[in-house]
A and B are shown apart, each in its own frame.
Chain A
Amino acid sequence: MADAESRKMQRELEQLRRSHVDLSRLLDERTRSLKRVNDRLKKEIDKLRRTEAALRESEEKYRSLVESTDNSIYLVDKECNYLYMNRNHQQRLGLSADQVKGTAYADCHSRTETRRFRQKVNRLLETGESLSYEYRSKRDGQYFLRTLSPIMQGADIQAVSVMSKNITFQKQAEKQALHHRMELAHLERIATMGELTASLAHELNQPLTAILSNAQAALHLLAAQPPEIKELAAIIEDIIADNRRASRFIQHLRAFFKKGRIEKKPLDINDLVQAVISLVRSEAVLNNVAIETAIEDHLPLVKADGIHLQQVLINLVINASESMQAVADRPKRLLISAASQADAHIKIGVQDTGEGIAPDIQDAIFNPHFTTKKNGMGMGLAICRSIVSAHDGEIWAVNHPDQGVCFFFTLPVTEKA
């Protein structure tokens, strides 16, 4: 019994021991498996950590690109509400980062600025193409070049990105250059008038002479008994007319001497040509040059600065007269013509019967400081060219096959309102 008891116990003990071994084996296995999982997890986490760092780095890179630039960069939705703006633009508009969303373009700009911006955005929404335009801020008068681009989601435009580059400096440099060109043109006008002094004196002397003679005749008529009232009235009317003629001429001269920017207004070519002829007529007669005109009827108006265009025409007329100085075997004729062209431009020509331009200098005549005149500065034609191009026109010269040369320049006609 005692044996049986002990065998039983023995067996149970054995069983217990075996179970314990199994259990420990199992436990070991589990532990190993867990360890493997843990290792894998650790690796995954490492990988994720690295990816996250790379992402952060990348975003940092782009963010710093967008945030550190001098340019304003922002996104708006189709209704012109801000979705995002870089720090530069936040500062410009005086907004903090958390104010950006919920602010509209209209909240930060004037009504006209907003209208213009909306127009541009609408055009982009219609065409789907990027567009650029120059813009002067009412906030501080600075100039910007804005480029609007669509942000696409599939085939739809989701938002509009705006990149705004400050071009105030370039604008100022351009303005400065234009200012210098205008100063030069002014000096050249004074020099031109210097050349025409004799002619101008004559233009003023004519009405003065008529006024003086009329007044003296009136004194004689007053002394007669009875005075000839009717004739006296006619004399006084003529005196008034001549006085007006003289003051018109002086006004005209004064305008020509005025320093000025190019101010474009609708201009009748016929008026331009007549104004120029009144300034150079005496000079032409003195040089035995006959001035003729061929101006097409009903020419459309051009948008131009009258004084500067007069300067161009006078320069061409004086050049033409001078080129005919030595001509003796043929009439000295100067033809001013104007005709409209198919491309919405008017072509104005000044043709002479003079020496023509030698082929070897043809390319150089519009260059600054190029001259064939003994006392010339060589600025006349260079200034003509800069004035004509400021009017979006072109200027060129063609030798006539027989004799003389014709200078042409073009001006765009005004757009119909």
Chain B
Amino acid sequence: MADAAPLVFVVDDDDSIRTALERLIRSVGFRVRSFRTARDFLAQARCDAPCCLILDVRMPQMSGLELQEKMAGKNLPMPIVFITGHGTVAMGVQAMKAGAVDFLEKPFEEQLLLDTIQSAIEKDRRTRQENALVSSLRQRADQLTPREREVFKQVVSGLLNKQIAAVLNISEKTIKVHRARVMAKMKADSLAALVRMADKIDLT
């Protein structure tokens, strides 16, 4: 899958900080979009490239945990990097529970911020690839006939053709045909690959 250029979101109610962060992140080659409030972010942010969110901890209207839930509901899942003027252990714990990838104390070193953004975007890229893979595997599995699906399940549970024939009460020769079709439709080149695919799509 060809990635669009990564995108960094910034939410901070302090105008100076928001502008400065936007400039700094853009100056090293990222795309940036910034918002004054979490509400604006939820209403306007769209993203189909690897992305992450730089979020000021101090937001009177919405806690990080709430925002995290709402982001999931809006199909805007992404790694969050919290920034704070004065971190406490409790705050850090809460932020991490809310799905933060990192927790930076202001003022932070540029390199630390950029490294953190880089790894957050990497994380999002992997998540996106994984999600893309799973959804294409699901599409492939959807093309299987009920009988082929049945055979798929038995094959990946480790039974031999002969055993499957006995369980499903059909000839071993027919099983071989179904099995070949499953391998072809799922684009699996080995039994091991097929087992991994079954695992990813949670075949039951």
Query: A residues touching B (Cβ–Cβ < 8 Å)?
Result: 198, 201-203, 205-214, 216-217, 220-221, 231, 235, 238, 241-242, 245, 282, 284-286, 288-290
Q: Is B136 an interface residue (CB 8 A)?
A: no
Q: Which of B10-37 contact A (CB under 8 A)?
A: 14, 16-17, 19-21, 23-24, 26-28
User: What chain B residues lie within 8 Å of A290 (beta carbons)?
Assistant: 60
Q: B23 contacts A235, CB within 8 Å?
A: yes
Q: Is B110 an interface residue (CB 8 A)?
A: yes
Assembly CA distance A213 to B26 (angstroms)? 11
Closest chain A CB from B82 CB (angstroms): 14
Complex contact B21–A201 (CB within 8 A) = no
Tell me if A210 and B16 are in contact (CB < 8 A). Answer: yes
- Residues of A with C-beta under 8 A to B21: 213
How many whole Å from B176's CB to the nearest CB in chain A?
A: 62
A210 near B27: Cβ-Cβ < 8 Å: no
Residues from chain A with Cβ under 8 Å of B19 in the complex: 210, 214, 238
Digit string of B78-97 for contact with A (CB within 8 Å is 1, else 0)?
00000001100000000000
Interface contacts (Cβ under 8 Å), in number, total 79
Could you say which residues of chain B place their CB within 8 Å of the CB of A211?
20, 107
Query: In the complex, are the beta carbons of A285 and B60 less than 8 A apart?
Result: yes
Cross-chain pairs A/B with CB under 8 angstroms, 18 sampled: A201-B86, A202-B85, A207-B16, A209-B17, A209-B107, A210-B20, A212-B107, A213-B110, A214-B24, A216-B24, A216-B27, A217-B20, A217-B26, A221-B23, A245-B16, A282-B85, A286-B58, A290-B60
Would you call B106 and A205 a contact (CB within 8 A)? yes
Beyond A206-B85, A206-B106, A213-B21, list 13 extra A-B contacts (CB 8 Å): A198-B86, A202-B58, A205-B85, A205-B107, A206-B17, A209-B106, A213-B17, A216-B24, A217-B24, A217-B27, A220-B27, A231-B23, A238-B16
Instruction: Give bound CA distance, A311 to B19, whole Å.
Output: 34
Closest B residue, CB atoms, query A287: B60
Question: Roughly how many angstroms separate A121 CA and B20 CA in the complex, as a whole number?
Answer: 70
By the criterion CB–CB under 8 Å, are A241 and B107 in contact?
no
B63 to chain A, nearest CB (A): 9
CB-CB under 8 A from B60, the residues of chain A are 284-285, 288-290
Task: State which of A209, A214, A241, A284 has its C-beta within 8 Å of the C-beta of B23.
Answer: A214
Band of interface residues on B: 20 to 34
How distant is A335 from chain B, measured CB to nearest CB, in Å?
Answer: 15
Contacts of A205 in B (CB 8 A): 85-86, 106-107
Contacts of A206 in B (CB 8 A): 14, 16-17, 85, 106
Q: Contacts A206-B14, A242-B16, A285-B60 hold; do A213 and B85 have CB atoms under 8 A apart? A: no
Tell me which residues across on chain A come within 8 A of B14, comparing CB atoms: 206, 210
Q: Which residues of B contact A282 (CB under 8 A)?
A: 58, 85
* Contact among A213, A285, A288, A289 for B20, CB-based, below 8 A: A213
List residues of chain B with CB within 8 A of the CB of A208: 106-107
Interface of A is mostly: helix
Task: For B85, list chain A residues within 8 Å (CB).
Answer: 201-203, 205-206, 209, 282
Within the complex, the shortest CB–CB distance from B59 to chain A, in Å, comes to: 8
Q: Return the CB mask of B106-122 against A: 1 if under 8 Å, else 0.
A: 11101001000000000
A212 to B111 alpha-carbon distance, docked (Å): 12
Specify which chain B residues have a CB less than 8 angstroms from the CB of A201 in the assembled complex: 85-86
A220 & B24 in contact (Cβ 8 Å cutoff): yes
Residues of chain B lying within 8 A (CB to CB) of residue A288: 60
Alpha-carbon gap, A221 to B19, bound state (A): 15
Distance between Cα atoms of A198 and B107 in the complex (Å): 14
Residues of B within 8 A of A214 (CB): 19-20, 23-24
Q: Which of B24, B58, B59, B86 contacts A213 (CB 8 A)?
A: B24
- For A217, the chain B residues whose CB sits under 8 A away are 20, 23-24, 26-27
A238 to B18, CA, bound (A): 12
How long is the Cα–Cα vector from A238 to B27 in the complex, in angstroms? 16
Contact partners of B20 in chain A: CB under 8 A: 209-214, 217, 238
Q: Judge whether B86 and A202 touch: CB under 8 Å.
A: yes
Residue of chain A at shortest CB distance from B18: A210
| Alpha-carbon gap, A284 to B28, bound state (A) | 35
Q: In whole Å, how far is B22's beta carbon from the nearest beta carbon of chain A?
A: 9
Q: Give min CB distance, A5 to chain B, whole Å.
A: 161
Nearest chain-A residue to B13 (Cβ)? Answer: A285
Query: CA–CA, A285 to B86, complex, Å?
Result: 13
In the complex, what residues of A have CB within 8 A of residue B107's CB? 205, 208-209, 211-213
A284→B13 CA distance, assembly (Å): 14
Q: Who on chain A is nearest to B58 by CB?
A: A285
Instruction: Give the residue among A211, A212, A213, A214 with the most B Cβ atoms within 10 A.
Output: A213
User: Which residue from chain A places its CB closest to the CB of B104 in the assembled complex?
Assistant: A209
Q: How far is the CB of A201 from chain B (nearest CB, A)?
A: 5
CA distance A285 to B37 in the complex (A): 14
Taking a contact as CB atoms under 8 Å apart, the answer to whether A209 and B108 are in contact is yes
User: How far apart sit A210 and B27, CA to CA, in the bound complex (Å)?
Assistant: 15
Give bound CA distance, A203 to B58, whole Å: 12
